[in-house]
Structure 1
Amino acid sequence: MQPAPVAEPAHKVLRRFRVVFNSVKAHLRAVESEAGVSGAQLWALSVIRQQPGLGVSDLAHAMHVHQSTASNLLRSLVQSDLVHSLREEEDRRSVQLYLTPRGQKVLAKAPGPFEGILPDALRKLDPKALARLDRDLAKLIELLGPEAQDKNLPLGH
């Protein structure tokens, strides 16, 4: 039995999603090729450069990711000598993050925008268009079912 044909408007939207996903993938490939780090690592480096001395929680908040995700990113950045962390004297559990000279060089040769082309493009949308897109995507996610709705994913401040 063949699946029911998808209506033409749905085909158009699917093609648009593919354009978005392919653009993001192409940018990430360019980042990895030119800078030698992943897109997420590049974004983390740029946040640390903008806010020297910030902590892991602050980095996670700035990147809209879970703290464990930020910790994993940092582990690889520290091991690659792109970031160094200093423990605070008063609270030895707390660290302050700084770029190394090598981390500065990676940022200097990396293509922007550092946070990625999708967040950059979304920020450029008219506020009403962005609000409409948010509502429409929320409806789409609801139709995809409970497994698509990650309750642990931070969606903003």
Structure 2
Amino acid sequence: MTTAKTPRKKSKTAESVQPPARVLRRFRLVFNAIKAHFRSVEKKAGISGAQVWALSVVRDQPGIGVGDLARAMDVHQSTASNLLRALIDAGLVVSGRGAADRRAVQLQVTPKGQRILKKAPGPFTGLLPDALQRLDTATLNRLDRDLGRLIDELGIDERGASFPLGSGD
């Protein structure tokens, strides 16, 4: 007995979709992957993705100060301070004063902070920074130039560039 196949609806292939829609779909893929990663981090670690990143930097660089943390995360110093305040209040990081310079704050991860990092899924920097680190220079330069044109077209205030993704800021 032969069964008749019902014709399948053709889905739009990437080639048949107009370039703006294709690019929009790609942005959606990136943003949705980032959101899913941050949801997973918060669910497993109980803190934001940006806090996990800051905590991992402090763990990897014991004694680091706020300014160096801000540079390591490429964020404004006030943003790093806000992230740290939450980590200190939660008992995940402690701050002390340096022996040589009593004004300098030195940060250390607590055992509780270490346990949080063990629960948190990587990469601690987040999916996007991690992927960007793996791209070659030519690709990064092209992305930088092309995204710059998009930012100009959108008329975006670039001050938002100093807030990490997943920080809730």
State the AA in 1 paired with 2:24: L
Question: What is the DSSP-based 3-state SS (H/G/I as helix, E as strand, rest coil) of the residue aligned with 1:54?
Answer: coil
1:46 paired with 2:47, answer no
Q: What is the CA–CA distance in structure 2 between the aligned matches of 1:119 and 1:151, rounded to whole Å? A: 18
Query: Which one of the candidate residues 34, 37, 54 is aligned to 2:44?
Result: 34
Task: Please give the residue correspondences for 1:59-98 in structure 2 after superposition, counting only pairs within 5 Å.
Answer: 59-98=69-108
State the AA in 1 paired with 2:44: E
Alignment match, 2:129: 119
Q: What is the CA–CA distance in structure 2 between the aligned matches of 1:90 and 1:152, rounded to whole Å? A: 36
Question: What is the DSSP-based 3-state SS (H/G/I as helix, E as strand, rest coil) of the residue aligned with 2:94?
Answer: strand
Query: Which one of the candidate residues 127, 135, 150 is aligned to 2:158?
Result: 150
Asked if 2 retains the 8 angstrom alpha-carbon contact of 1:66 and 1:153, the reply is no
1:90-138: CA deviation from partner (whole Å, max 9, x where unpaired): 5443210000000001111110000000011111122211111111001
Query: Which one of the candidate residues 130, 137, 140 is aligned to 2:140?
Result: 130
Could you tell me which runs of 5 or more consecutive residues in structure 1 were left unpaired when the two chains were aligned.
Answer: 1-6
Q: What is the CA–CA distance in structure 1 between the aligned matches of 2:159 and 2:79, rounded to whole Å? A: 15
Could you tell me which runs of 5 or more consecutive residues in structure 2 were left unpaired when the two chains were aligned.
Answer: 1-16, 163-169
Q: What is the CA–CA distance in structure 1 between the aligned matches of 2:127 and 2:59, rounded to whole Å? A: 19
Asked if 2 retains the 8 angstrom alpha-carbon contact of 1:88 and 1:94, the reply is yes
1:107 paired with 2:84, answer no
Counting aligned pairs with the same residue, the percent is: 62
Shift, 1:144, TM fit: 1.1
| Number of residue-to-residue matches in the alignment | 147
Question: What is the DSSP-based 3-state SS (H/G/I as helix, E as strand, rest coil) of the residue aligned with 1:111?
Answer: coil
Q: What is the CA–CA distance in structure 2 between the aligned matches of 1:142 and 1:29, rounded to whole Å? A: 30
Q: What is the CA–CA distance in structure 2 between the aligned matches of 1:83 and 1:48, rounded to whole Å? A: 8
State the AA in 2 paired with 1:52: P
Question: With structure 2 as the length reference, what TM-score do the two structures score?
Answer: 0.82
Question: What is the DSSP-based 3-state SS (H/G/I as helix, E as strand, rest coil) of the residue aligned with 1:112?
Answer: coil
State the AA in 2 paired with 1:127: T
Q: CA RMSD in A?
A: 1.7
Larger radius of gyration: 2
